[in-house]
Structure 1
Amino acid sequence: MKVLTFGTFDHLHPGHLAFLKEASSNGELFISVARDANVKEIKGIAPDQSEGDRVLALKNAFPKANITLGDAQDYLKPVRDISPDLIVLGYDQKLPPGVSQEDLSCEIQRAAPFDPDIYKSSIRRKLIPRASPSGTSDIDN
């Protein structure tokens, strides 16, 4: 069974690892990593790590997974290319903009939360200093 997940995976943490482990328990894991520009457009803030660094971290953590960058313009391209049997979303994850459940010909499953008060990325982002344009961290400023 082909299992597809999507995400930013900035600063890979135990919540991400639990989510991906749960997804992989259903079959062959495919991970579509969000492009930097798409993350900025959707979340209003660019990821701390480059898309290349995020892919590398995932490949190190899940060497048997099929990991690719998402498409910059077409959020459904990975779905068409992979033809998954199952899409696993994070417990609080939404489908990409412009994609509805009706667009998908496979089952969608939600992963269980993993300590969301600690490992939710938006909470962790507040705790991790971000680099400013001058190259110093927000803590230095």
Structure 2
Amino acid sequence: MTRTVIAQGTFDILHPGHVHYLEEAKAMGDELVVIVARRSNVDHKEAPVCPARQRRDVVDALEVVDEAILGHEEDIFVPIEERDPDVIALGHDQHHDDAAIEAELDRRGIDCEVRRASGREPRYDGELLSTRLIVDEIVERRG
């Protein structure tokens, strides 16, 4: 039986922190499906710069990802209901409330585990592991 893991995120500017998260998510099961957030659903930080389909295509190109899909425009749980995963893997710093997600999954009759991936420290001086840090560096250097 295949163990399906769902990971999700904005993935505006792909960086080593994203790769670490997705590698850990894949290790939680056999198949990794990544839900790429729509711009309309990103309300906890600046809206993504890149279009959703572009972000999905870049994530889908990663070897560790079995399939990348776009999130639902109105109800972020719709793709989860459609895929019925065994695990939802959250990033170490994602803003989601694990207990609230578990409660909503239970309410919808979706039986899956919610787990967090670990963080990753920079491996060398200057390595940027967040989109915000990359954007800040671009602005500083190119103003």
Q: TM-score range by the shorter chain?
A: 0.7 to 0.9
Q: TM-score normalised to the size of structure 1?
A: 0.79
1:38 maps to what in 2?
A: 41
Q: CA deviation at 1:125?
A: 2.9
Two-structure CA RMSD over aligned residues (Å)? 2.3
Secondary structure of 1:108's partner? Answer: strand
For these two proteins, the number of residue pairs brought into alignment is: 129
5+ residue gaps, structure 2: 106-110
**Can you list the C-alpha shifts for 1:5-46, whole angstroms capped at 9, x where unaligned?**
11001111111011101111122001000002222xx13522
1:19 maps to what in 2?
A: 21
Quick one: distance in 1 between partners of 2:8 and 2:138?
23
Q: TM-score normalised to the size of structure 2?
A: 0.78
Quick one: distance in 2 between partners of 1:25 and 1:89?
13
1:124 maps to what in 2?
A: 134
2:120 maps to what in 1?
A: 114
Secondary structure of 2:128's partner? Answer: helix
Deviates more, 1:57-66 or 1:20-29: 57-66
Quick one: distance in 1 between partners of 2:102 and 2:64?
30
Task: Return structure 1 stretches of 4+ with deviation > 4 angstroms.
Answer: 138-141
